[in-house]
Amino acid sequence: MKTDALLQVDNLRVSFRVNKKDSVETVKGISFEIPRNATVALVGESGSGKSVSSLAIMGLLPADTSSIAADSKIMFEGRSLLEMTIDQRRQLCGKEISMIFQEPMTSLNPVFTVGFQIAEVLQLHMGMNAKQARVRAIALLEEVGIPDPANKVDAYPSQMSGGQQQRVMIAMAIACEPKLLIADEPTTALDVTIQKQIIDLIEALRVKHKMSVLFITHDLALVGEIADHVIVMRNGEIREAGKVRQIFDEPKDTYTQALLHCRPTLDSRPWRLPVIADFISNQGAATEQKQRPRGLKGDEDIVLEVNNLGKSFYTREGFFGKKEFRAVENVSFKLARGKTLGVVGESGSGKTTVGLTLMRLHQASSGQAIFEGKDILSMSNKDFLPYKRRIQIIFQNPYASLNPRFTIGQILMEPMQIHRIGNNDGERAKMALALLDKVNLPAASFHRYPHEFSGGQRQRIAIARCLTMKPEVLICDESVSALDVSVQAQVLNLLQDLQEEFDLSYIFISHDLAVVKYIADQVMVMNQGKVVELANSDDLYLNPQQAYTKTLLKAIPRGLQHCSIDSAVQYLNSAFCAWQRLCVAFLCFRFFGRQPSMSG
């Protein structure tokens, strides 16, 4: 290993105790290094060992349930991190090595202002007093792009958007100007525009502060925009490592090739998205598929018509006054039977509010939603009850939408019992088992609990629960946004299969425009509660009419847009040589009438 590397990891093996006797090895002897002033991306699916590796570097693994092998080494500037005392490690981590965690809302303390939390880092590691730390905190908030930092320094995390919370986490991480910044999935579930801002911000700060960055993600499209080097992990092992251009242009490992092919692209819409298992079983060859047509012709049967939908929220102002916030304003659209309407926009655009209002989980302030000639928004709760079966919703978070105290069988049978579907529990159990088979889950899942399943499997259970009602309209609220690319592909294929079989209509809410392009027939773009643009998906992506839509499309990660200086020079040199060869060939044909040998 190179001695001039900032961080060196050699034969890292991490195990977790399952019970008093048994343990499982989650990181299996990996070795890599992080050069100075460079960005290294650690890529892989959930459970590959990415985050565990980063926590081992930070010294944040739980001491009572985990262990690092005695022959493992983690060297930072020639110093062994694993041989340091707790006090030495604590002094180093936070000052010279810092970390941005995946979920800012759970990482920030909700009862302290963001300014207090940033100042705490400065006082602990830099020895500043309270006044100095506050001034520095305001400067850091300004540096990471928080508007009005002098006032925002006294804001609580709940008063900031997801993107702003992540910027606060970045401000805390760079407060002491560390030499190594570890970013663990810092853009997961963020809008494409906010995601791009965070990526650009991390890169700008890396250059400004001459840091090295370890960027952890499951999305290879993001890697191409920020990384110099890529490490691909699976099942605790490194499958492939190299410069970013080599990984994208000539991936050698089948798993890396599969990761690159699983994500939907803007230039094709295969009948089924490839998943990693299929790709690997096919020895790395992507099977040719016919393209899936999308779009509306205009003569489709309309299942749901929404006219001038509005939803306002009110906050108290003074003793007796109240302030109105219009989350949704004059939203109108038609949903065709058996088709998909994609709803896109940034956080706060009103996407989810539209879905929840149509489900009557929010009370509409104005407008109509016509279903079979009746306005479901103005009905009484009693009259709306039969319609609940026919309009269902899949929530964003598969970990929070299932009752942890119920078995999967109870979760699936409960809505059937409430709506009196089936004559008895035995019949309902048979229906539940049939639905589990429909979403590709084994019958044994019936007696298990939600915590025993992965995120993708839980999302399948949530879909099965919706299908117990035999709905006609399914609202998918960010239902694949936090899933790995392969699991995401499985769920998207499942949704398409169900749509074809049951003629379902989807309202597909998402911030991932590549996914929406793949699955939607029509796309509705929202901004600040209003509809900005509504068109067939192919038309909107090829020829957007509004500036806001163009901004969203421009922010979509497109893979390899970033490369190091060396790789760029190498690419230009090879292109120049190819051009020289073409010129020689042309001259030979022109004057000698034959093609020259290209071996020299």
pLDDT tens string 377-395? 999 988 998 888 899 998 8
Q: How many CB atoms lie within 10 A of CB 347?
A: 16
N- to C-terminal Cα distance for the chain?
Answer: 35
pLDDT for the residue numbered 71: 94
- Tell me: do 504 and 434 sit in the same domain: no
Which one is predicted more confidently, 103 or 407? 407
Give me 547's structure tokens: 């500036």
Select from 451, 450, 516 the least CA-distant residue to 480: 516
H or E stretch at 262: helix 254-262
Residue 203 has pLDDT above 80, yes or no: yes
C-alpha span between 391 and 267 (Å, rounded): 32
pTM of the model: 0.78
Highest mean pLDDT among 233-242, 270-279, 379-388: 233-242
Contact criterion met (CB below 8 Å) for 332 and 374: no
Residue that terminates a domain, selected from 452, 469, 486: 469
> pLDDT at residue 600 above 80?
no
Pair 60, 81 in one domain: yes
- Domain co-membership, 92 together with 214: yes
pLDDT recorded at residue 565:
38
Share of the chain above pLDDT 70, in %: 91
Residue 172: pLDDT over 60: yes
Q: What is the pLDDT of residue 275?
A: 82
Dig out the tokens for 426 from the structure: 């035995």
Q: How many CB atoms lie within 10 A of CB 307?
A: 15
> Nearest CA to 167 among 151, 147, 150, 182?
147
Who has greater pLDDT, 47 or 207? 207
Q: Is residue 510 part of a domain?
A: yes
Q: Which CATH number covers residue 89?
A: 3.40.50.300
Cβ neighbours of residue 212 closer than 8 Å, sequence gap 6 or more = 6, 7, 34, 35, 36, 37, 38, 39, 40, 179, 180, 181, 206
pLDDT of residue 559: 62
Q: What is the pLDDT of residue 314?
A: 85
**20 and 142 inside one domain:** no
Residue with the bigger pLDDT between 572 and 290: it is 290
Instruction: Indicate whether 329 and 350 sit together in one domain.
Output: yes
Report the pLDDT value the prediction gives residue 590, as an integer from 0 to 100.
46
Note the pLDDT of residue 284. Answer: 52
Contact 274, 286 (CB under 8 A): yes
Q: Are strands 66-68 and 229-234 parallel, antiparallel or unpaired?
A: unpaired
Looking at 299-424, list the stretches that DSSP marks H as alpha helix, in order from N- to C-terminal side: 351-358, 381-388, 408-418
274-277: which pairs have CB atoms within 8 A and are 24 or more residues apart?
Answer: 274/489, 275/486, 275/489, 275/490, 275/493, 276/45, 276/486, 277/486
CB 290 within 8 A of CB 510: no
Q: Are 492 and 480 in contact (CB under 8 A)?
A: yes
User: For residues 530 and 353, what is the distance between their CA atoms, to the nearest angstrom?
Assistant: 12
Residue 520 has what DSSP assignment? -
For residue 238, what pLDDT band results from cuts at 50, 70 and 90? very high
pLDDT in tens, 294-323: 989 888 999 999 999 999 988 777 777 888
Name which residue leads in pLDDT, 58 or 386.
Answer: 58
* 1, pLDDT greater than 60: no
Residue 194 has pLDDT above 90, yes or no: no
Q: Are the beta carbons of 328 and 350 closer than 8 angstroms?
A: yes
- What domain range includes position 128? 107-175
Domain count along the chain: 5
Residue bearing tokens 């702003």: 164
Residue percentage of the chain with pLDDT more than 90:
44
Sort strands 473-477 and 302-317 into parallel, antiparallel or unpaired.
unpaired
Mean pLDDT taken over the chain: 85
The residue from 175, 193, 212 where one domain ends is 175
Query: Any bridge partners for residue 368, and if so which?
Result: 307
Asked which of 10-19, 95-104, 327-336, 439-448 is least confident by mean pLDDT, the reply is: 95-104
Instruction: Give CA separation, 5 vs 98, 179, 189, in Å.
Output: 17, 12, 32
212: which strand partners? 180
Same domain for 375 and 485, yes or no, is yes
Q: pLDDT higher for 532 or 196?
A: 532
Indicate the angle between helix axes 130-143 and 114-126, nearest 10 degrees: 120
Q: CB neighbours (10 Å) of residue 313?
A: 13
Query: Which pLDDT value is given to residue 189?
Result: 63
Mean predicted confidence (pLDDT) in 206-222: 88
Please report the pLDDT score of residue 288 as a whole number: 65
Q: Are residues 87 and 6 in the same domain?
A: yes
Cβ atoms of 123 and 130 closer than 8 Å: yes
Q: Is 529 left (phi over 0), alpha (psi -120 to 50) or beta?
A: left
Residue 582 sits in the same domain as residue 514: no
Give the whole-angstrom CA distance, residue 480 versus residue 395: 10
Strand extents, DSSP E, 37-174: 39-43, 66-68, 73-76, 79-80, 97-100
By mean pLDDT, which of 82-86, 105-109, 145-149, 496-500 is the weakest? 105-109
> Would you call 33 helix, strand, or coil by DSSP?
strand
pLDDT in tens, 536-589: 999 999 999 999 999 888 887 766 544 433 333 343 344 444 444 444 444 444
Check whether residue 305 and residue 382 sit in a common domain: yes
pLDDT of residue 540: 92
Residue type, 15: S
Residue 257 lies in a domain: no
Residue 16 inside a domain? The answer is yes
Give CA separation, 517 vs 76, 263, 428, 553, in Å.
44, 12, 37, 11
Distances (CA, A) of 393 to 348, 419, 462, 508: 19, 16, 9, 10
CA distance 507 to 519: 11
* Domain shared by 298 and 386, yes or no: yes
- Using the predicted structure, report yes or no on whether residue 591 has a pLDDT greater than 70: no
Is 216 a member of any domain?
yes
Residue 481 lies in a domain: yes
- Considering the domain architecture, whether residues 305 and 417 belong to the same structural domain is answered as no
Residue 338 has pLDDT above 90, yes or no: yes
Comparing 9 with 218, the larger pLDDT belongs to 9
Q: Of the ranges 361-370, 434-443, 445-454, which is most confident?
A: 361-370
Q: What pLDDT sits at residue 596?
A: 42
Dist CA 91 CA 30 (whole Å): 26
pLDDT classification of 481: cutoffs 50, 70, 90: confident
| Mean pLDDT value across residues 330-344 | 95
Q: Please calculate the CA angle 13-17-18 and round it to the nearest 5 degrees.
A: 130
**Region at 439 (left for phi over 0; alpha for psi -120 to 50; beta for the rest):** alpha
pLDDT band at 3 (very low <50, low <70, confident <90, very high): low
- 597 occurs within a structural domain: yes
Query: Is residue 184 in a domain?
Result: yes
pLDDT at 161 over 90: no
- Tell how strand 237-243 and strand 302-317 pair up: unpaired
218 lies in the same domain as 232: yes
For the chain, the C-alpha Rg in angstroms (whole number) is: 27
Tell me how crowded residue 305 is: count the other CB atoms within 10 A of its CB.
Answer: 15
Highest mean pLDDT of the ranges 160-164, 330-334, 562-566:
330-334
**Given 3-state DSSP classes, what are the helix, strand and coil percentages for the chain, each rounded to the nearest 5?**
40, 25, 35
Residue 54 banded pLDDT, cuts 50, 70, 90? very high
